[in-house]
Chain A
Amino acid sequence: MYSSFFGIEIAKKALFAQQRAQENVSHNIANANTPGYSRQRAIMESTYVKPYGGTNLAGTGAYQLGSGVKVEDIARVRDAFKDMQFREENSGLGFWQFQADSLKQIEAVFNEPSDIGVSSVLTEFWKSLEELSKNPEAVEIRETVKERAVTLTNTINHTANQLQQIINDVNFRLSIKVDEVNNLAKQISELNAQIQQTEIVGVTASDLRDKRDLLLDDLSKLVNIDTYEDQNGIFTVTVGGAIMIKGSDYEAMKFDIDNPSDGVRWSGYNTDVNLSKGELKGLLELRDNKIKVYQDKLNSFTTAFVSNFNSIHKNGYDLDGNPGVDFFRQPPNAGEIISVSGDILNDIRKIAAAGSSTGVPGDNENALALANLKYDKVLIDGQNITLDDYYGSLISKLGVDSQEAQRMAASQEVMVSQLDEQRKEISSVSLDEEMAKMVMYQHAYNAAARMVTTLDEMIDTIVNRMGITGR
């Protein structure tokens, strides 16, 4: 024989469960616009089963009666595989985005094709030498040659300085980004501890996991990460094969802005971080394999220009019949990669336009040779090429690099947003859906309440109406 109130107990459980589920709906609606939130589902389960009828549990004629419902878990609806894919592509996006932005900036530094880039001021310099070849004794034309040379050196130095400035910016960004990585790692490790503590009793820490996933999304933009969780719920994040976060511990990265060439290293392991993607890798790539190349090419161009120009210039003779001196100076002053030599700056008579020492002012032989250097193939980086063409190849490389970075950043952006959309397809909150569920739970709640009323009436029958015959 069982309690008369068992049915009320079942109905009460139903009321509570439907109410929990309704609250879950409310939580979902409340977080419909929360970044990183994944919708949650109340998982209902029928409660224990009681055997009825037989004398023992296995007895014939026995049957089972359920004892109602409970909310077994509030689970989040999320696909871990999609997260993995998203983070993979997000690292790629991080890799290309800074490069695309910085390369555009470098294109602005070189300012080609235009009337004020190195190419144009160099052309103006060649033109001034043509004028010199026609009027080698004219002071005003010598002055023009000197001024054009100064403009050329200023433009080259400015370009070189701007490139260095961008490298400095990249290093600064690297140091900030490394701090960001460490900060995220710290937060994730703290969440790991909280999640473990919460889930030890067998419930899902959905909201904490959402927070952790959101931080992992952020981290994946900065570095290439892999994540896994063992059976005991110990969650691990590795970067390039090295463990960065394990449970509540994390390993910090370091970047020494005073020794930027050391790159990004693990503080504790004291080894290089094996980066393959993400913003950190993107910045390093930009610094070491892109800007560095333009810097090197600009230096090679300048060195070849100076040495070839000087050697022709020294073959000639100045207005006073003295042998030519160095026209350009290299190495120049600090912070410059080329300058006009002091001799020329102080005395334009020292411009060696003449081909012989007889000191006659109209001799234009060397001025012609200098002007014709424009068309001479000279040795730069092991190749025989004109100065103009070599400089053109620098700009061409920059253009192609920048175009590639912009295209890759754009296509990664599309990829990432598509994957994010796929995740949201599963995890984001649909108001229609929540409304439908709300109605569903409301009806179940109402029905359970009605059950209480019915059972009450049944008990009323027993208590108040039974055994009153003849009263």
Chain B
Amino acid sequence: MRITQGMITEAFMRNLSYNLKRLNDKEDMLSSGKRVRRPSDDPVSAILAMRLRNTLSGIEQYNKNVNDALTWLKNTESALANTGDILQRIRELTVNAANDTLTPEDRQTILDEVSQLKLQILQEANTSYNNRYLFGGYATDQPPFYIDSITGKITANTSATGTLKYNLGMNNNMDVNVLGTDVFSDLFTTVESIESDLKLNDASALSGRLTDLDNAINIVLKYRSQIGAKSNRLDATKSRLESNEIDYTDLLSKTEDVDVAKTIMDLKMDENVYRASLAVGARIIQPTLVDFLR
């Protein structure tokens, strides 16, 4: 093979720029921290990285939804717990009032307390969180129960229906609200009957109301245990989402991040090659026959 000075120079320049390009690639990878900077670096990994990012964003969102659902349920639960406590007090008072020995005055005092307790229950039934009525169904802007200023009776808002669903994942959602009418409507009727019995001073009727009260208490308990079960499900979802997040973050990192140790090794190797090619460059101006002819 015939080799000429021009060929040596050209080959040197070509190789030098190739080596410098490889060095540049490694430096770029290390400074960006990413192995996959554009789809062409590795089309399969790039698409996988896109999917993982989407999945991670989804997980983040669902985690938020779970937390919001938990807060909603917690507020509902505490309203129901308060309602249960108040009902217990009403039950005590009713048992007391059913006693034949009580005077009408005594019953009047009890009536005053029961009426106050009813208003307290009304407060619980109209609990709001974040400017939304918890028991109002879709009618989150109106109190689900209001008191008739003339009769003093509590009436339910008829539009307070609708089931609020929160997304907890793909094809996975949960009803988070409890409808006020389901919990409170019969309860208020019962309390109002007790009020009128107290007004009429009817001891035997009052003892008959205890069954209704027990029913109301049971209904409150039923919803509380339902909320407990839902909270458990949310807690489980939350810990699954959290472990998913760790797994997917790890996978994303493995997919697109630079293996720093390996890349630094590669960088060092490329650097050596580049240095060597520079050293070669310094030597390519070889003496020719010219130097030896006299």
Contact = CB atoms under 8 A, between A and B. Distances in A.
A417 B3 CA distance: 15
Interface in B269-294: 288-290, 293
Contacts of B130: 135
Interface residues of B, number: 53
Given A134-B166, A362-B140, A439-B293, A395 B3 contact: no
In this complex, the interface size class of chain A, counting residues with CB under 8 Å from chain B, is: 35 or more
Interface string A116-137: 0001100110110011011101
Contact of B40 (A120, A388, A403): A403
A421 B39 CA distance: 34
Contact of B167 (A371, A402, A403, A425): A371
Interface in A98-128: 103-104, 107-108, 110, 112-113, 115, 119-120, 123-124, 126-127
Interface string A387-410: 010001001101111110010000
A104 B61 CA distance: 33
Given A113-B53, A113-B256, A362 B4 contact: no
A363 interface: yes
Given A113-B53, A421-B7, A424-B7, A362 B43 contact: no
B208 interface: no
Nearest to A395: B39
B47 A396 contact: yes
A401 B54 CA distance: 24
A372 B170 CA distance: 8
B54 A134 contact: no
Interface stretch (B74-82, B157-165, B183-191): B157-165
A368 B11 contact: no
Interface in B233-254: none
A362 B6 contact: no
Contacts of A126: 58, 61
B46 interface: yes
A263 interface: no
A430 interface: yes
B7 A360 contact: no
A307 B167 CA distance: 23
Contacts of B139: 360-362
B230 interface: no
Interface string A253-290: 00000000000000000000000000000000000000
Contact of A424 (B4, B53, B256): B4
Contacts of B194: none
Given A130-B65, A375-B170, A375-B171, A368 B165 contact: yes
Interface string A414-447: 0001000100111011111101100100000000
A222 B267 CA distance: 37
B54 A119 contact: yes
B265 interface: no
A392 B40 contact: no
Interface in B30-78: 36, 38-43, 46-47, 49-51, 53-54, 57-58, 60-61, 64-65, 68
Given A402-B38, A421-B11, A430-B2, A362 B53 contact: no
21 contacts: A107-B39, A113-B36, A113-B39, A113-B53, A120-B53, A120-B57, A123-B57, A130-B65, A134-B166, A354-B138, A363-B162, A364-B165, A395-B47, A396-B47, A399-B42, A399-B46, A403-B43, A406-B40, A430-B3, A432-B289, A439-B293
Given A126-B61, A360-B162, A392-B50, 13 more contacts: A32-B5, A107-B40, A119-B54, A120-B57, A131-B64, A360-B159, A362-B164, A364-B165, A368-B167, A388-B51, A388-B54, A395-B46, A431-B4
**Which 5 residue pairs spanning A and B have beta carbons closest together?**
A399-B39, A399-B43, A362-B140, A402-B40, A435-B289
